[in-house]
Homo-oligomer: A and B are copies of this chain.
């Protein structure tokens, strides 16, 4: 009769088990999800096993003395996550509370591109609460794909080609330095040679490129500080009077009469795009077409 009778014909399915499995899947293994609580440990182990029995498929795989989630497990986790989000959305929107929308991007994007337009964004989302989550492009793409994130802003080259995207503009890097450092007509090279700088700690994809370029130009800047993020770098430029290379969108951070910037010679601009989770897009409580609206708001002119 009912098309879902067969779903409940076999026992072993319950919200609790789905919830437990989701926790394990998010944590990656049981120990991490259980957080040294032996009760949770045994519960998780058992419930995952019961779900595997229900779906007749291995959701986990033993690797060494721990387990990891199989592809099928991740698929199921995505289904569960979506489902719980929808129920939660429904409840929140019925209660008249704002739905919350998760957007992932790099810290520099969040601080210098999203936050300055935050009000317009929440407006476009019908008053939803925006939760900004900082992570690297690959992680954002994965998050959007499996429903942990509703939106993401990433380099276009990190987006799998079948995923829909909205172009926002390009971002390159520029040298930021106090006005005084820029002697009349002097270029980037001159500032780097003469003015003390701040730099990122080695590690990122950008740092590679940057130090390679310095080497090729036989430039040896005087580095007074090494920090771990662009936002910290910006703070150094602002308050310590150092020069530094930052993403172009960092201009919003500075008073144009005190800090000037100039693009780097090897500065190849990277196109950035907004991506969105297909199913989150028409969640209860969100206006239709929100990704397009959001993209329009967040788009910037590519200052080439």
A residues adjacent to B (C-beta < 8 A): 2-4, 6-8, 13-15, 19, 22-23, 26, 54-57, 72, 75-76, 79, 82-88, 90-91, 94-95, 162, 278-279, 282, 284, 288
Contacts and interface: CB of A to CB of B under 8 A. Distances in A.
A91 B8 CA distance: 12
Contacts of A162: 288
Contacts of A57: 94-95
Contacts of A84: 4, 7
B15 A79 contact: no
A282 B278 CA distance: 9
- Give the one of A8, A85, A162 with max B CB within 10 A: A8
A79 B86 contact: yes
A161 to B, nearest CB: 12
Given A82-B86, A83-B86, 17 more contacts: A2-B26, A4-B19, A4-B84, A6-B88, A7-B87, A15-B15, A55-B94, A56-B91, A56-B94, A56-B95, A72-B94, A75-B284, A79-B90, A79-B284, A83-B83, A278-B278, A279-B279
Contact of A4 (B54, B72, B88, B279): B88
Nearest to A281: B278
A132 to B, nearest CB: 14
A4 B8 CA distance: 23
